[in-house]
Amino acid sequence: MKATALCLTLLALPLTTHAIDPGPASAQQQETEGWLLLQSRNKAASTKPQTSTPNERELSMQRWLKSYTHEIPEFFDQKQGGTVDSGSGG
């Protein structure tokens, strides 16, 4: 019974989704949306294959593995790094 209800719910969902509702947007937002659209539709892909050497792949893997050696603190020091000016300056 629950599986049937879940299937019906999933079928009722729209087939497309929008991250931002259509409407007025800043020039910067429109530019960003244009680039994201090109990327998602694969319209501006390079004709030149992007390859890396075995040495580059190894260095990249080592950098990724090294990122796991940093301990994540239980709590972050809220006062470290200064303060944020809450003034209305521009």
Give 58-76 pLDDT, tens digit per residue: 999 999 999 999 888 787 7
- Specify the pTM: 0.35
- Give me the mean pLDDT over the 33-57 stretch: 88
Would you give the DSSP letter of residue 78? Answer: T
CA angle at 39 for the pair 12 and 23, rounded to the nearest 5°? 60
pLDDT of residue 74: 80
- Residue 7 to residue 81: CA distance in whole angstroms: 50
Query: C-alpha distances in angstroms, 21 versus 13, 18, 24, 43, 71?
Result: 17, 6, 9, 23, 40
pLDDT of residue 73: 78
Where residue 82 falls among pLDDT bands split at 50, 70, 90? Answer: low
Give domain limits for the chain. 1-68
pLDDT of residue 53: 95
